[in-house]
Amino acid sequence: MPEVRVIALGEVRRQVGFSQREISFAGVTVRDLLRAIGTKQGGSLEDLLVCENRLRGDYAVVIEGLALPADQLERRLEGGENVVTMAVIRHLAGG
């Protein structure tokens, strides 16, 4: 079972109840990881972040600094990787 560090920001943090945590999970993919993390609503992070087999447009998963394309939920995770989950910050402006 790979162990990754999951960082949850903003709304996702409130749903999962932690800011950062080392997580070992059954499986190897991003989808497996999201399925292994429960939320306060009673379901899993997969229920919150995934719709029709794609990452929902208003959420982002960033692995080792690179945003995960919405259709790549089957990406394999390596042990020790850094996974940031968050709602997309829509309102950032400036410049």
Nearer residue to other proteins within complex by CB, 14 or 54: 14
What gap in Å lies between CA 35 and CA 19, rounded to an integer?
18
Applying CB under 8 A, the site for other proteins has a residue count of 24
86 binds other proteins (CB under 8 A): yes
Three-state secondary structure call for residue 47: helix
Of residues 16 through 55, those in contact with other proteins by CB under 8 A are: 19-20
CA distances from 34 to 13, 23, 46 (A): 13, 11, 5
89 binds other proteins (CB under 8 A): yes
Token pair for 58: 């208003």
Place of tokens 């800011």: 19
84 binds other proteins (CB under 8 A): yes
Residues of the shown chain interacting with other proteins in the complex, contacts defined by CB under 8 A: 5, 7, 9-10, 13-14, 19-20, 57, 62, 64-66, 82, 84, 86, 88-95
